[in-house]
Structure formats: C-alpha cells, structure tokens
Chains A and B, each alone.
Chain A
Amino acid sequence: MVHVSEQCLNVTSLLCLKCTFCSLLSGVYEESNGTSRTAGMNGNGPSRLVDPLEDPLPGVGTYEDFNTIDWVREKSKDRDRHREITNKSRQSTVALLHSISDAFSGWLLMLLVGLMSGALAGGIDISAHWMTDVKGGLCLRGFWFNHEHCCWLSNETTFQERDRCPQWQSWAELITGKSEGPFAYIMNYLMYIFWALMFSFLAVILVRAFAPYACGSGIPEIKTILSGFIIRGYLGKWTLIIKTITLVLAVSSGLSLGKEGPLVHVACCCANILCHLFTKYRKNEAKRREVLSAAAAVGVSVAFGAPIGGVLFSLEEVSYYFPLKTLWRSFFAALVAAFTLRSINPFGNSRLVLFYVEFHTPWHLVELAPFILLGIFGGLWGALFIKANIAWCRLRKTTCLGHYPVIEVLVVAALTALLAYPNSYTRMSGSELISELFNDCSLLDSSQLCGYKQVSVDNSLADRPAGPGLYTALWQLALALVFKMMITVITFGMKVPSGLFIPSMAVGAIAGRLLGVGMEQLAYYNHDSVIFKGWCSQGADCITPGLYAMVGAAACLGGVTRMTVSLVVIMFELTGGLEYIVPLMAATMTSKWVADAFGREGIYEAHIRLNGYPFLEPKEEFEHSSLAVDVMRPRRMDPALAVLTQEGMTVGEVESLVESTHFSGFPVVVSSESQRLVGFVLRRDLLISIDNARKRQDGIVSASQVVFTEHTPLLPPDAPPPLRLRCIMDLSPFTVTDHTPMDITVDIFRKLGLRQCLVTHNGRLLGIITKKDILKHMAQMANRDPDSILFN
C-alpha cells in the first residue's frame, strides 16, 4: 500500500516511508508520475482518490466543546461518503446490500427514536400521575396504585363524591384516623408541604450530583445546538437518566411547571444516544442535527399527542435548517412515538393527553370580540412574563441568589405548596386544572364550576344563571390566576427540569374561563340587548365557557413563545374541533402582534441572548448599512492578521504562532508579500497533526519545514524531512470583498452555516469575519453590551 512518490526518488528509502505519512493520513494514493491531485478536506472533484470511509487521524475533523461546527465541511463529507458507497455498490452484492442498509438506516433510526421516546414518555406520565397523588394519600390495596386506579372497582363511590372510596386514604386518615375536621385539614396540609419539599429536594440534589445539564427547559440550548453549536454532554446518557427521573419529581412536587420542554430534551437525548449505533450519523455532525430536528418533533408529539403539531413546532421554533427530507422523517418518527404512547395508554381510554376535550358547539361571529380581547390579554401576559422572567434569571446569574440553588428550590417549593393548598384550583396539578377548565358543564358534573341555578323545568343545560357554587369558583379562580402568574415567573429557570407550556396554558385557560362565564351571564341577563338579540335568545345554548378557556390558553402560550401555526395545529389536535380554527387563529395572531409590540423575542430567544450563545437568529433582518470592512478583524489599530505561509515556516514557528494567539483558525497565504489566499486551516487540526507527527513520524523536529503545497520544495540533503499538511487544509474557504454590504454577508453566514469568512481586497487577503464578530456587531447596533456574546 505504500506508494513511492516522485519526491522520494531522490532520498533514502527510510525517508520515503515518512514522505507518505501524510498520504496515509487521508488515504490518498499518489501516482508515481506525479500527476496526482492531492485532496483537501472539503471534498474533491470527479477524479476522487480519497476513500472517505476510512478513518483519518482520530481527532482531525472533530470539534471542541462550546464551538460551532462547519456545516459546509460536514455536508460535503457526507456527500462524498454517499457517492463512494453508491460507486462501490456496483461491484459486489455485499456492497449493494451495504448501500441499501445505509439508505435504510435513517428510517430505522427514526423508528427507534420514536419507540424509545414514546416508551420513556409513557413511563414519565405514569410515574408522575402516581407521584402527584402520593401527596394526597395512599392506596391500601397496594401503594403503587394512583387514586383513579385505586377506586376503579369499588362500589362505594357516590354521585356527589365520585372521587372517594374507602381504599384510598388521605394522610390524615392514615395517621390520625380522622378524615374531617380542622385537625385532619392541618394534617393533610402539613403532609402536602412535606411531600412537596421532599420531592423538590430530591430533584435538585440529583441534578446537582449527577447531571447539572439536566436543569431548565432545554429548548434554548437545543435551538443553539441545532444551529451548529456543540455542548458536549448536553444530550448524553446521564443527562437523559437524570432528566427523566427528576422531571417526574419536579412535576409531582406541585411546582408551577410543565413537562413539555423537558420532554423535547429527553427525546433529543434519545436520538443522540441512538445515533451512536449508526456510523453515518455518529461521525457527521450535520446529519446528526437532522435527526435531532426530528427528535424535537417527537418530543412535542408525545407531550401533547399531536404529531403534526410536533413537526410544525420543530420547523417553526426549534430547527435552524429544515430540508424537506427531514419533514417526512420527523412525521414518521412523531407518528411512531404517538403510536407507542397510545399502546402504553397511560391515561386510559386511549387518550394521549390528560385534557382531551371533544365538544363541537358552534360559535358566533360576535364572539370574535372577546376572543380578540383574550388575544390582547395573552400578548400582554407574554411580554410581561418574558421581561419579568429574564430580569429574575439575570438576578440569579449575577447576584448571590445564584449561589444557593438548592435552598432556592426548597424555598420556592415551600412557598408554592403553602399558597397552593388552600385553593382547590391551585392544589390540583396544571394538567388537571386545564382539563377541568376546558370541559363544558354537563348535568353530570358536580364540581363547583358547574354550580348553576336550575331555573327551567326540564333540567336543560343552556342559559342558566350562576349559583352560589359558581360564584365561589369564580373568585377562587381569580386568586388562582394571580398566584399562577406570579409564581411561574420565579419557577421557570430553576435548577430542576421545568417547562412552561402547561403554566402558560393554565393562566390563559383561567382567564378565558372567567371571561366565558362573564359572557354567559351577560347573555343571560341581557337577552334583548343589541349584541345578543340575533343569535342568543332565551333558552339557547349559545356560549360555551370551555371554548373561551381553550382560546385563552392558546393566546397566552402564543404570547410567551410566539408560536403561530404550530400552536393552532397543536390546539386543534388536542381538541379535535376543526370549527375552532378561526377563533384560535384570531387570538394567536392578536397575541403575537401585541407581544411583538413590546419586544421581538420569544422566551426561548430571550434565554439564548441571556446566556450569550452564538445563535444567529434566522428570522431577524439586518437593517444597517455597514460594510464587511467595518466588521472584520483586524481593525485599524490591531496587529496584522496572523497567517501561515504555504511554505517557509518551520514547525517551531507554527507552534509558537498558534500558542501565542487564541484564534481557532489561520488562513494560509502564498507568501507574506503577496498575501494571496491558498486556504484555511483550523487550530485544532493543526495541533493534533503536529503532535501526532512529532510522536509517530521520525525526524520531525522544530526546524522541520511545514509544507502546504502539493509538491515539497527541494531541500538541502541534511535538512530534516518536511511535514506535509495539505490534507488538513480547507482549499475552498469562503471570501467576500471588503465592500460587500453586511446584510449580504449575514445572509451568507445564515444560509450556508459558516463559522468564518475571509475578506479580500483587490484579490489580496485583508481580514477575517467570524460569527462572533457578527453577533457582537449586531449587539452594538442594537445598543446592547457586545461582551455578552460569550462563546465563539
């Protein structure tokens, strides 16, 4: 396999072997007549000589932690690999089977991701449901039964108290033997607080001890990872285990958080772990991000039982590049996950989500006014929540509040439990609250929210005035609204897994239901007024408060996250009511417009900016008229650009240049006088290659020449052998001229996923623009602190 190249014809056979070190590095076979075309690392033309299926030096082509990947390089690596497999497949049957299984591997991976995520989500749902009930009491038949299952077979349930049965005992009954009276109430209260504290304490110490990356929602970091950033360990197996376990604990402890955001993180962890089974995805960061986009869709699909909504969520909110191929694969994965969850059936009755409603009552055009009002409320709430939450998180980052995460979680859990227990609407979990608010009252409901007065003879449901039960429920709901609005601000972002879909929807549902009941009573007492005369006559069932709750929930969630289409699709997949698309759309659009008037960013983008991740927002436009020369480095007062020449530098000089600067890449020029560009080489690859050459290759010393050209120059016979590094150089770096407007440059960065771009002037290399420079420039233009961009 060792071919003799032309340079080696004049030297001894020992040195000959070393000359071909670099060719072994990338598997290039040089022909002995010297008409070879050495390949750079960015793919090759038709006369391809490199075998991309072989491994280059381990470490070359990988990225450091907290760095951005090079999308162009990854994509061309994959194209070459695919081309090679296709070419080889014509040679033998084994190779043909290999190419078929390579094509299939994407679909198999999606199937596995869907199965694993669906199974985990089912497990999380079952455990969370059980643990939430543990705060209230225990089942005597077996401690693993939750309340509903404990009372499944009992015959002692009555109409008024259909939740009670003798097998399920509250803590007061278990400890003191009494179930009524002030002492029992206090006992229950204390046990509730005890369990809430215990669960949240366990959650935060597990996160702290095993996987600190498992806290928070996960969606801002996944957005950044999908745009090309690398956070090692964020999607690893320990993070997966800890996130699953502590999510159940956090949700059961009564804290005002949901599990949708963390489920997206869990699904992406599953996808990342399963990617290691397939070479195609393990080695290529760009392909892996395609799978992660699909996994984000799977996460929302299992959280809401909404596969299509999940795919649209991934497209709209989470993904950076979303080719059409990913659309179909995400849909497949989301469907598999929904099917798995359905067969596990955690909620019985083949429902996927706890608050599945099925009403189909029509709505009238006049009701668009209160729906738009709900949209305005949702937008205002969204803007206010984002500002308050970011201020609180900034406090946590900068002041001493952040030094006591465990105590913070305990205090917030204690406060939540203390204030939530007395009000029955805050005592129940978020999903149960939403489920109760979405559901319309039927004759069979004995809850307070359906406490209407029966005025008509035939016990009809429509058009009834409020009874005392309903009034109690209304002021309790108003208190619950204020409480939830305030407590969610300090809960989101704590060091336990926390999502915010359910709390936002709960706030919106409460507001919507209040408005709906208000409208209903208004209609009852004013049948003859102009507004209601045409469509809401006496005895007609015209207003459904449950629908108002639904619209309110959508408006508030839209105001916080600024989702539009995906939110509408999720809501009507949740309810099955296609006739409610227009109210949902009206409310969502209104809330987005109102919220955008106060600030353009949704909660996830705001958190990205708070953490200083290098995320180039794909939806923003660059409005200023600066040129590339204004943003590039070096600036006028700075020292000149650190470049490498294609020959003439020694290993010692290169090492000292690399070590004296902290740049992550260096352009290679023809010579320091001409400054004509040859290529670009990354710091990491350079250091690994030099290190490896010093260890493995004989004769490489600090005085050896580093050569980036195809043919080594003739050296005096006593000179040490040269180190050939053309193979790690990128031969096609992207360049712009110094007069290119910045909006085109930013567009190039966004569309191609570049990490750096070289600036030339009249054909000569002038400077370099990196993604971090662009982000800093944009921050400066928006009068923000440019030093808040932390990573490159």
Chain B
Amino acid sequence: MKWVFFLEALLLACFVLLSQVTAKNSEDIRCKCICPPYREVEGQIYKQNVSLKDCNCLHVVDPMPVDGKDVEAYCLRCECKYEERSSGTIKETSNPTVIVSYFQFTIIMYLSILGLLLLYMVYLTLLEPMLKRRLFGHSQLIQSDDDVGDQQPFANAHNVLSRSHSRSNVLNKVEHAQQRWRRQVQEQRKSVFDRHVVLS
C-alpha cells in the first residue's frame, strides 16, 4: 500500500519536471521559408525566430528579392513551415546559469552508460583474473563440477576473495548476487550461442 503513495508522489515530481522542461527557449522555435527559383531570382531559404501567427512569407522573407507586383506570385510558391526544436532547457537557479539541453542530457547519459558497461566488461574479462592470480595463485582455484566455461574461474574468485577479508553481510550478499547473475548469464550464453536452443 505504501508503494502506491510513493509511486504517486514520484509521478507528481516527474510531471513537474516535465513541465519545466517543456518551457521553450527562444532559440528553439523558428519559421523556415523555402522559396524556389523564380525567373532570375535563385532559390533561397529564409529563417527567423517568429511566432506561429507571423510565420508567413511576408514577415520572414527579408529582404524581398522581387518588386511590388511580383511579391504575390513569388510568395505563392514559397513554403513556410513553423518548426520547433525540442531541446527544452533546464535552467539551474544558481549562478552562473547553466543551460543543459534535454537532448544533450540524453546523449551524454547514453554515452556514459555505454562507457560504464564497457569498463565493467573489461574489468570482468581482464582485470579480475589478474587480481585473483596475484592474490592467490593457481592452487586455490576451485573447479566447479558444472562446466569449463571461460568465465567459471571468476565465479570462484569472488568466493575466495570474499572469504579472505571479513566483510560485512551486505557485501557478501552483493557478492552472492553477482555470482548468481554470472551463472545465469553463462547459462543464457550456452543456450543462445553454443547450443542454439533459444533465439536461433
């Protein structure tokens, strides 16, 4: 039951944040008019930061390349579109004002998660066996009865490592959970990549 109230509070916070984010910066709207070639005048693109009601040929095309009587014919060919860029800005109130675009935030977060995953993978495949070998040598390597997968020594390394220092219960639980996860991934890898049983 407590969950429900907590969730609702979280949702409310999300909505508030979202409404802040959708506040538009003046840089994010524009009217773009594309005018094709007309007689001697070349094709041109005009952009201006105007609002929706002013988004037409007469307000945006400046300077007008043709004279008075041709303006109407010229403007008839032009296509004006009102465009919004959805970056949204999150302004922090402290000084100096830091403007972080929503898009930038997404991409930087994506790249950092990707980097973290790659680092974790490098750690699991390269650094752990080195650590284990340096601390214990080969004699304490306990082979499990299951298989001789290349990851198996690492599952035991955690066991051996954790027994040597007297860690608290929480860390032990984390070790256990990680080992269990490792075994699961290995099982999955066997069924998908080796035996081709699931997901051909």
Quick check: is A538 within 8 A (CB to CB) of the other chain? Answer: no
Quick check: is B174 within 8 A (CB to CB) of the other chain? Answer: no
27 CB contacts below 8 A, A to B, read A97-B1, A101-B1, A101-B4, A104-B4, A115-B11, A149-B87, A152-B30, A153-B30, A157-B45, A158-B43, A158-B45, A159-B34, A202-B118, A206-B118, A209-B185, A210-B121, A241-B113, A245-B113, A245-B114, A245-B117, A348-B84, A402-B196, A405-B193, A444-B34, A444-B35, A444-B79, A611-B199
Quick check: is A277 within 8 A (CB to CB) of the other chain? Answer: yes
A residues within 8 Å of B by Cβ?
97-98, 101, 104-105, 108, 111-112, 115, 122-123, 126-127, 130, 142, 144-145, 149, 152-153, 155, 157-160, 162, 202, 205-206, 208-213, 215-216, 221, 231-233, 238, 241-242, 245, 248-249, 277-278, 343-350, 393-394, 396-398, 402, 405, 442-444, 446, 459, 493, 495, 607, 610-611, 790
Q: Select B185's contact among A211, A241, A248, A346, beta carbons within 8 Å.
A: A211
Q: Check B83 against A162 for contact (C-beta < 8 Å).
A: no
Q: Tell me which residues across on chain B come within 8 A of A346, comparing CB atoms.
A: 86
Could you tell me the distance between the alpha carbons of A245 and B83 in the complex, rounded to whole angstroms?
Answer: 29
Q: Tell me which residues across on chain B come within 8 A of A402, comparing CB atoms.
A: 193, 196
Could you tell me the distance between the alpha carbons of A616 and B191 in the complex, rounded to whole angstroms?
Answer: 22
Chain B 48-89 per-residue mask, 1 if CB under 8 angstroms from chain A, else 0 = 000000000000000000000000000001010101111100
Could you tell me the distance between the alpha carbons of A60 and B42 in the complex, rounded to whole angstroms?
Answer: 78
B interface secondary structure, majority: helix
A interface secondary structure, majority: helix
Quick check: is B170 within 8 A (CB to CB) of the other chain? Answer: no
Could you tell me the distance between the alpha carbons of A98 and B3 in the complex, rounded to whole angstroms?
Answer: 12
Q: Tell me which residues across on chain B come within 8 A of A153, comparing CB atoms.
A: 27, 30, 47
Q: Tell me which residues across on chain B come within 8 A of A211, comparing CB atoms.
A: 185, 188
Could you tell me the distance between the alpha carbons of A398 and B195 in the complex, rounded to whole angstroms?
Answer: 9
Quick check: is B166 within 8 A (CB to CB) of the other chain? Answer: no
Q: Tell me which residues across on chain A come within 8 A of B44, comparing CB atoms.
A: 158-159
Could you tell me the distance between the alpha carbons of A221 and B191 in the complex, rounded to whole angstroms?
Answer: 14
Instruction: State the Cβ distance, B163 to closest chain A Cβ, in Å.
Output: 26
Quick check: is B106 within 8 A (CB to CB) of the other chain? Answer: yes
Q: Check A208 against B199 for contact (C-beta < 8 Å).
A: no
Q: Tell me which residues across on chain B come within 8 A of A610, comparing CB atoms.
A: 200
Q: Tell me which residues across on chain B come within 8 A of A344, comparing CB atoms.
A: 86, 102
Q: Check B189 against A208 for contact (C-beta < 8 Å).
A: yes
Q: Check A215 against B79 for contact (C-beta < 8 Å).
A: no
Q: Tell me which residues across on chain B come within 8 A of A127, comparing CB atoms.
A: 106-107, 110
Quick check: is B181 within 8 A (CB to CB) of the other chain? Answer: yes
- Given the interface pairs A144-B108, A210-B121, A238-B181, the reply to whether A149 lies near B200 with Cβ below 8 Å is no
- Besides the contacts A208-B189, A212-B189, what 12 more A-B pairs have beta carbons closer than 8 Å? A108-B7, A152-B30, A153-B27, A162-B45, A202-B114, A221-B198, A221-B199, A241-B113, A277-B7, A343-B22, A348-B83, A349-B84
Q: Tell me which residues across on chain A come within 8 A of B4, comparing CB atoms.
A: 101, 104-105, 108
Q: Check A215 against B192 for contact (C-beta < 8 Å).
A: yes
Nearest B residue (CB) for A154 = B47
Chain B 111-151 per-residue mask, 1 if CB under 8 angstroms from chain A, else 0 = 00110011001001100000000000000000000000000
- Given the interface pairs A162-B45, A345-B86, the reply to whether A144 lies near B22 with Cβ below 8 Å is no
Q: Tell me which residues across on chain A come within 8 A of B34, comparing CB atoms.
A: 159, 162, 444
Could you tell me the distance between the alpha carbons of A299 and B196 in the complex, rounded to whole angstroms?
Answer: 27
